[in-house]
Every structure is written in structure tokens, then in C-alpha cells.
Amino acid sequence: MYDFDKFVDRKGTWSMKWDAPSLEETFGNTEVLPLWVADMDFPVAPAIKEALQKIVDHGIFGYTVTDEANEALAGWMERRHNWKFDPKVIVNTPGIVFALNVAVQTYSRPGDKVLIQSPVYYPFTNAIVNNGRKVVSNDMVKEGDNFVLDLTDFEVKAKDPNTSMFIMCSPHNPLSKVFTADELKKMLDIAFENDLTVVVDEIHGDLIMPGVEYTTVGNLGAEYANKVITCLAPSKSFNLAGIQWSGIVIPDEKLRHQFSRSLDQLGYGMYNPFSYAATVAAYNDSEDWLNEVIDYVYKNYLYLKETLESELDVHVLDLEATYLAFVDFSRYGLTQKELENKVINEAKVGLDSGTWFGENGAGFMRFNLACSRSTLEEAVSRVVKVFK
């Protein structure tokens, strides 16, 4: 058993999530209790700490090369998700956001349209816009209290001859939604029929909540998996965002060569020994830790949902995956700026604003549930007090 109830003070550790300079830049308020950016407040699994300590004790941090991290990732995907592939089809990058930018540069041309599904992880939009491409969104549609796919709109936008790529977030962040195998196939069939290059961000694919069936694109069969660029990493699952190591699975030889060539042109191809050691220890020796994290996060979600929905006129979207809960405050009739002011400056809780993910995220705020129960209770108490 791991003690996730224990509060770990992260202030003064150059933490983007907790330290004052980052909070000032993000919220204009250094007094907020931060439940925003997607990293955990939990110490990593013991096996990871031990592996990193061995590197430190050795004391030499020179150029490092190994296939063990890719082999560990491939082994993990086979054991955990029943997807078997050759580790040699993995291309490494220092994070998935980096990979998304490289993919946009590689598989589209300036002025092309790139399809996403808002409200979605905002670096998708940044990767498109910052590289001179155009965002086109197949918006997720709010139906009742949750969001659903609009496949008719998806097909219309995929058929646009100026659309060259589709970047999918699966599981979906911030909607915490797991697409069914049928939904995935329908989207991919449309994309392939229209010659779109498909990049799938599956960074939250290990964080599946109890009772939910998850399908990685790799489970759909070779006719799908072999045509897709699938982005994987231990960063969310094992709280290793600062380690900056990702495995981009590209079975198609031509696509893989193009991606690798782009990395060569950027001059990036060497990784530090800490990233290798942490990744191997995470995938090979830390599954029990992850399982307990999922259980703890799900209980935090149940607490958040029960408390907020009983005390306030809000709706917490179903948490099918991730440790990020999207909460609908729209019944209060506030503008997004008014909602942000109420949460950030009055309640003094630092949350991701729904419109960071797209305009159809208006009325929502995102809670990071990967924190101690005491931290979550304090944040919820502050929000409830202000809205009541």
C-alpha cells in the first residue's frame, strides 16, 4: 500500500504547478491552491526512485544509448493493453508535445488544415498555429450533461481537400472520455478514405477508471494500427513529466523515415540516462503503484462529484480516464472571465479554464484529482463557499 494521503510540499522545487513565478504568470495570483497542470502530487514508485538513485550514485552522466526503454514500452503495451509490436518501430522524442510539433511539420504543409476535436488539450492548437497551419475543429457536441462525437461534421471536414492531418486525443483530455472501438474505427475509416495522416495521442491510456473498457488504436487490428502514428509516454501514468521521454509508435516504414528525418534536421537524438532509467523502472516494475493511483484518483473523483453536485448547481462529467475532471458551471450564467475570477481570485483555487481547450469549453473548469484528499477537500471547500 502506498500513502497518497500524505501531503508533499512542492513549493521551492521549481515546480511549474506550485511555485509562485508560474502561478503569477498563469493566474496573476500566487495565493491559489493549484489543481491545474497535469502532473501528480504523488512521489513516484519506489522502483523509479531506486533506478534514478543508482545513476546518481554512479556519478557519471555521459552520453547514453540503450534500446531497453523502447523494449520496456513495447512489453508494457503487450501486457497491459494486448497490443504487440516490434520495439524497432518506436521513434523517441522528448515529450509528446514535441512530437506533435514534429508531426505537423512532417506530414503537412504551411497553410494546410489540421483537424482536431475541441475542447481538447491546448498544445494541439499551438502545434498547428505555431507551424503556420490552420486549425479546423470537429467540435465535440454537448448532449445533455456530457459530450458526444459528431461524425457527420467530422466527415465533412475530413473531405475538405485542404485538410491533410487529423490529431486525435484518446482518451480525450479534458473530457475524460474513452472512445469505443466502433467510434475509433469510424473516425479512422473516414480519415483514411480522405488520405489524412492520423496522429493519436494516447498519453492517458494507462489511466483508465474502474469498469471502463479502453481500446488503444493498436487493438483495432493491423489495418488501423499500421497506418497511425501513436504517441505514448510514461509521463502521466507514472508522474514523470519532467523526465521528458516519449515513444512514438510508427509501424509504417515511410512515415517512420519521414518523422526520423525531421528529428535529424532538428539535431535531436540523444537522451539522458535518467530518462532511460526512469522509463524502464516504470514500465517493468511499477504497475502495482499505478493500479493504486487509479483507485485513489477514482475515489477522489467520487468525492468531488458527490460534494459539488450536492452543494452547488454544477455537473461533473463522467470520469472514464485521466485524473482530470471537467466541471460544468454554466448553470450560473457567468461569462468565462467572471467564472475564472470567482474561482481564481475569490475562491483562490488554480484550475484550468475550459476555454483554454477551445471556445466550446466555456462554462467549464478542469480539476486535477492526482493530489492528496486533504488538498482536494480544501479546494472544494473554497469553491463551495464562494458559490454558495
User: Which contacts qualify for 8-17: CB closer than 8 Å, 24 or more apart?
Assistant: 8/41, 8/42, 8/43, 8/372, 10/41, 17/41
Q: What is residue 22's predicted lDDT score, i.e. its pLDDT? A: 98
- Return all residues near 74 (Cβ < 8 A) that are at least 6 apart: 84, 85, 86, 87, 90
Confidence of residue 1 (pLDDT cuts 50, 70, 90): confident
Q: What is residue 269's predicted lDDT score, i.e. its pLDDT? A: 81
**Cβ-count burial 69-92 (b if 16+ within 10 Å, e if not):** bbbbbbebbeebbebebebebbbb
| CATH architecture of structural domain 62-285 | 3-Layer(aba) Sandwich (3.40)
- Domain residue spans of the chain: 20-45+288-387, 62-285
Q: Which amino acid is at 323?
A: Y
Distances in whole angstroms, Cα of residue 351 to Cα of each of 150, 298, 355, 381: 28, 19, 12, 14
With beta carbons less than 8 A apart as the criterion, state whether 300 and 371 touch.
Answer: yes
pLDDT per residue over 125-175, tens digit each? Answer: 999 999 999 999 999 999 988 999 999 999 999 999 999 999 999 999 999
User: pTM for the whole thing?
Assistant: 0.97
pLDDT per residue over 365-388, tens digit each? Answer: 999 999 999 999 999 999 999 999
| Phi-psi domain of 365 (left: phi exceeds 0; alpha: psi -120 through 50; beta: other) | beta
Provide the 10 A C-beta neighbour count for residue 14: 10
20-45+288-387 to CATH, choices 3.40.50.2020, 3.40.50.1100, 3.30.70.20, 3.90.1150.10: 3.90.1150.10
